[in-house]
Amino acid sequence: MTLGFSVDALLPKARGGGVLKMGLTKLDECEWLQPDPDLAERAEGFAAFPQGIQLSPESAAPGAELAAMLGLPGGLPEAARAHHEDMCLLTLREGEEQYRLVGAAVAWPSDWTPANKMGLPLRALHAPIQGYEEQLASGVDHFMAKLKPGAFYGRCNWFIAATDEKRWVAEPPEQAFARVTADNAGETLFVRSERQTLRRLPQTGAILFTIGIYVAPLGVLSRDNRHRLATAVASLIEGEGDRRGTGAYAGALIGYATKHPD
């Protein structure tokens, strides 16, 4: 397995700190989506967040293509409800160079609102991410343009949250992490990883972006992963730590990792 389906399996593949990188891994088709998804949990997620489904007219054809590929009736919402992963569709309009978000079926967003992102091109979608325009934008645009049908790529990331809820809305860091200490960080800090995949649909040419959410308490992770995170939070690029709220929890996380070397 080149890109696993748990926080512990994903963290070694995720970027630590420093310069932003796509960090893509080529996947076999059998590694594309999580096997045996909890469909009851997915149904609950969409019921609690119905606004996570956003469809433009441009999403109809690729959504139907995706559902048919997966042996399902319907379109994008039916595909996402039948799998662990949230799913987004991006298409390229004639005369443009950047793909745009045209459809989203997202039960468990990581502090974003699909309705606010619909129709935006890639660079605008990623505008809140420090360093994206300078370090990643051109590379992402090139990758998307060259991605061929039949190829599967994945990547992963990490966030630190104060909750294990799959749908995460970040609170002000000083409030969210107010009770976190080096002694209790193992139970009060939660590591959230997105297992993201990209593939081009062969008929419509749309790009499907999937996001599998995995959450675990800091204390259950391997020693190597706890120390990996401790190093990472100390080496984020300028401005990125502020967006992630690291000032409110970094000391506790590093302290916990130091106190629990095994």
Q: Write out pLDDT tens, residues 174-205.
A: 999 999 999 999 999 999 999 999 999 999 99
Per-residue pLDDT, 237: 55
Q: Flag whether pLDDT at 134 surpasses 70.
A: no
> Crossing angle for the helix pair 223-233 and 250-259, nearest 10 degrees?
150
Q: Flag whether pLDDT at 17 surpasses 70.
A: no
d(CA 231, CA 216): 18
Per-residue pLDDT band for 1 (boundaries 50, 70, 90) equals: low
> Among 9-23, 56-70, 160-174, whose mean pLDDT is lowest?
9-23
Q: Flag whether pLDDT at 240 surpasses 80.
A: no
Per-residue pLDDT, 19: 59
Please, which residues have CB within 8 angstroms of residue 3's CB and are 6 or more apart in sequence?
Answer: 9, 10, 13, 25, 27, 31, 154, 155, 156, 195
d(CA 122, CA 101): 8
Over range 67-80, report the average pLDDT. 98
CA atoms within 13 A on the CB side of 246: 21
Q: Write phi, then psi, for 79 (nearest 5 degrees).
A: -65, -45
Which is higher by pLDDT, 127 or 36? 36
d(CA 191, CA 10): 11
Per-residue pLDDT, 236: 73
